[in-house]
Amino acid sequence: MVSSFGWLDVDATQRQKMLEVVDLFREQGTVDDLGVGTIRDALSDLLFPGTSVLHTRLRYVLFVPWLMQRAAHKSSPAEMSAEFRRLEFRLIESLLAGGEKQGVIGNTARKSLKQLPSTMYWSALDAWGVRDVATVDAFFRRMHDTRALQRRTAATDDPESRAFVPASGIDPHLPPEPDELLSATGLALAPVEEQYLSDRIAASTRGSMLAWLVHHPPGELPRRVWDVEHLDEAPEHLRVAVDHARRYSLAIHGAALLYNLLLAEASEQEELVEAYRDALGDWRSELEATGALADWDRADFWATVHASNPRVRAVTRAFVDRWLDLIAVHDGVADVGEARTLVSTREKSIKGGRARLLNQSALDRWTGASGTGRHDFRWLVARSHLEDLYSARGIEVAA
């Protein structure tokens, strides 16, 4: 039987979060088999608010409202909505005509594209203060109603007697769209666009690592945020948050490796068993070399996580705490019975009868690696956005 899941589509923000979950399942390195994604997301939202694993390039944050404004010239909300969808597909062709390939949403799918840019970037538009309307359709209804109100209101030369015109729902300071938007456009930001986005992001995410890096470019953008060369110049609360992320990313990685070792053993794949035992050995060496567990203020770590997301479940925290306790006292966990039981029980409690360690059919579908990627807390997405901003300023930053 093929497994499936569903959700009630009633909220734009929750819709995007579900799409992110679906997208994560396509990447073996980031699947959340052990149910600790809420911790990862809490730290991601704290460091890089507004970002999403669905994002490609930053200029889409402008493309979406520009296309909304274009579509709003139609007569009715239904016509506006249909026009907007048509324009989103037309944007694909415009970007390809402009010579873009990497980062173009729909460059392969074209008109069969299911996840449109407006869905992928909708939360960012809110988080960064570009829109204050709940949905695209709500924007079109507001524009239609505003137009109707203006038609019913008699023109007058007295400014105080004029009817109040509601805000459109899109930031009035949005830069004007380029002439070539729907003919042959690109993903590089123009200087005025960079200034607008830099100001919006920095102001709306004040106190975050993203906001700090917008105005403090490093000489290079490394693969991990904790390797940013001038991190010691950041405010203390950011240094502490990044350090918590570094320690947690490495520590919880061992649980994912042990889980895959258990799967390799259960499926009797000796080469993979040996590979995961070696990986656990390398992980242990890195854990000791970096001192990730030494003097770690776990109480402050959990306070940081809960400040970002107070809904992290107690059972999730208990699992992580027990894992951290075990790796603090055992040199290796590959053959530690309590560690093995902890990980296998965690999968079973999350998936029930669908757990690979219980269900032979599910185990047979295992491809040899699941959830083995390190948490980067959406740093690679944030790094891409920062590169777009820096490039528009003429700042060369090595990646």
Query: What are the extents of the domains in the chain?
Result: 27-49+205-399, 60-197
Q: What pLDDT digit, counting tens, does each position of 177-206 carry? A: 999 999 999 999 999 999 999 999 999 999
3-state secondary structure the chain: CCCCCCCCCCCHHHHHHHHHHHHHCCCCCCCCCCCCHHHHHHHHHHHCCCCCCCCCCCCHHHHHHHHHHHHCCCCCHHHHHHHHHHHHHHHHHHHHHCCCCCCCCCCCCHHHCCCCHHHHCHHHHHHCCCECCCCHHHHHHHHHHHHHHHHHCCCCCCHHHCCCCCCCCECCCCCCCCCCCCCCCCCCCCHHHHHHHHHHHHHHCCCCHHHHHHHCCCCECCCCHHHCCCHHHCCHHHHHHHHHHHHHHHHHHHHHHHHHHHHHHHCCCHHHHHHHHHHHHHHHHHHHHHCCCCCCCHHHHHHHHHHHCCCCCHHHHHHHHHHHHHHHHCCCCCCCHHHHHHHHHHHHHHHHHHCCCCCHHHHHCCCCCCCCCCCCCCHHHHHHHHHHHHHHCCCCCEC
What is the reported pLDDT for 161?
Answer: 44
What is the reported pLDDT for 168?
Answer: 87
Q: Which residues of the chain have pLDDT under 50?
A: 1-10, 18, 21-29, 161
What is the reported pLDDT for 150?
Answer: 79
What is the reported pLDDT for 145?
Answer: 92
Report pTM.
0.89
What is the reported pLDDT for 24?
Answer: 44
Q: What pLDDT digit, counting tens, does each position of 358-389 carry? A: 999 999 999 999 999 999 999 999 999 999 99
What is the reported pLDDT for 31?
Answer: 75
